[in-house]
Structure 1
């Protein structure tokens, strides 16, 4: 029988689906904000939290993450109310990490957001180059981004910046120069993501039409290698494939709940979660459309459908998520859950190819292996 493991963490993710503008690369559950009445959705999210409290009982909350979408569009008072609800429903740890995703052009709200109880800002800068920002469909300029970074540093105890690389025709030299500028910003945490083309997005359709060609795998791999080298040299240790922190205290604790297979509630339209209840690990998936989500909460008390994961799926997730972290995974974790051993032939082959390394009972990806993380995970857990 599976039990909730507090050492893996308990987090709450709140998805706010509205954006001032939908970015052409974004494949998340998002909708144009327009002039929507946000009160019904806010009320539904608050009721959803109450519904989950009845199911989980009292657990200490380690992290809260307001993502989207663009939760920085929310009035600070609405954020304050959501956080007050959480603190009333569950005991919130004194050192709880409370993160909000923001766009630079919402910097006039930062002081109010911090005053509402958010202590960590995740700022979607994406580039310091105006031409790249235009290509990525961002509303802000590099100048606005720099001003927002300064405001973020003033208002929050921890500041994380997101950037995207492997843009079309982006050279190693150009990205290296931008990395130098990024490092000089002095953020506490950096998330550096390769541009991925999803079919349903505006970029996906443009590539299908032949409007432009994405960076090929070799170029992307070279840029990833440069990223790791520059970050390491600057003291931003990689603790996960795409994430770098100046110190352990600035690592993204909420994401670590995911990677360590902890429990988290997914609340809001389209939010996913994982919750261990009554000896089962549940996958929760909330209704995507805001109107359907609201109706679901009104009818059932929560906005998600939930189903137990199989032992095989739980074990595979533990491997897939855990291997993303540089600390690797214990072989015994997989064996304890699944009741079987890793494919030793696959392990030997990956070690020989320089893709994984074995440190006692711990499996870790090498730098080369990080580029093939999903493939390696799948092969390791095959019957």
Structure 2
């Protein structure tokens, strides 16, 4: 019962030192072969979760990566054509493509808009050249802002990413950078604290003492400032790291956070359809071999128990400003509210100002969002008891 489709394009021009996404650098990409592979993967998903099995038309499509803005517009067009033929498109479908803000990719924006992309998410990451070099980005600040300007001319909806809480960054420095970012007038911003992910070059650098991450108190201060400034500018946080004008939230990402079905195709893509979790081969060459061998790139397909689905839904939903409607969630999974969320711990953390109840909804407060990972591990039982 697909409502959303995720398409993963795994290739980048360079691997950023902070990135733990499934991205790969290759000297040459056979676009014809990749088109055939992605179409086969898509058709396999439709056969299992298509309209003929009670599914609804697609409400969103998201091209993620990697760097999907490196895809030839003709390839994007062919994939969209096939998706519409298989599932159909809901009125006003959101079609997002992630991209790097380089002049090379910006040259494709008009063509991408012409083939149906109506929302872009640009990885600016910073507005200062020195920081961009530290982050391993290939564009400079001027090039990034020119690409943003081009994107705003061609797409109805534009978002961009920034990374803050960087080593040595001051609160005033972040205030000034965020004020500039808000001044560009986009309806959506994704603002992420720098995290040192396992297996990245930054992890190796921290271990060697090349730099030290910002301390937790400074990070918390920047998080609070971010929430206050975006709210004052009319782009309040609707998820822990995502901010939007009302109505410009990423509908595709809300599909994940509200725990609705989505199909994921391409290397490393995850999916959830009808209580089944799917995972594709991560390495591009292994994914292509899977396509040749079986007609799809799935490496793992697993039925999720009701308790695991409920746990995932709670963990995702509590990231959102809207929180979770506990009685509705309990009905959805045939469980009690107490099985979904430890009531004694919920009362305790409510007394600490970290969560609150608004009618039927449990909501994590701004103060609780700073401690979200630890808070979720306390509130949501790791093994929910099925009703």
- Structure 2-normalised TM-score? 0.93
Say whether 1:60 aligns with 2:57: yes
Say whether 1:24 aligns with 2:17: yes
Moved runs in structure 1, 4+ residues, more than 6 A? Answer: none
Contact 1:316 1:377 in 2 (8 A): no
Say whether 1:50 aligns with 2:43: yes
Q: In the TM superposition, what are the counterparts of 1:137-286 in structure 2 within 5 Å? A: 137-248=136-247, 250-276=248-274, 281-286=275-280
Shift of 1:334: 4.0
Shift of 1:38: 3.0
1:288 and 1:246 mapped to 2: Cα distance? Answer: 35
- Encode CA deviations 1:234-270: one digit per residue, 9 max, x unaligned: 111211111111221x110000000000111110000
1:333 and 1:322 mapped to 2: Cα distance? Answer: 12
Aligned to 2:287: 293
Say whether 1:319 aligns with 2:314: yes
Shift of 1:35: 2.1
Contact 2:326 2:361 in 1 (8 A): yes
Contact 2:50 2:86 in 1 (8 A): no
Contact 1:319 1:329 in 2 (8 A): yes
User: 5+ unaligned residues in a row in structure 1: which ranges?
Assistant: none
Shift of 1:338: 5.7
* Structure 2 SS opposite 1:13: strand
Shift of 1:41: 2.3
- Structure 1-normalised TM-score? 0.94
Say whether 1:335 aligns with 2:330: yes
Aligned to 2:75: 78
Please, what is the CA RMSD of the aligned residues? 1.2
Q: Which moved more, 1:226-235 or 1:338-347?
A: 338-347
User: 5+ unaligned residues in a row in structure 2: which ranges?
Assistant: none
What is the number of residues matched between the two proteins?
A: 371
1:333 and 1:375 mapped to 2: Cα distance? Answer: 25
1:14 and 1:302 mapped to 2: Cα distance? Answer: 13
Shift of 1:356: 0.2
Contact 2:315 2:380 in 1 (8 A): no
Contact 2:118 2:155 in 1 (8 A): yes
- Encode CA deviations 1:343-364: one digit per residue, 9 max, x unaligned: 1111011101110001121100
* Structure 1 SS opposite 2:84: helix
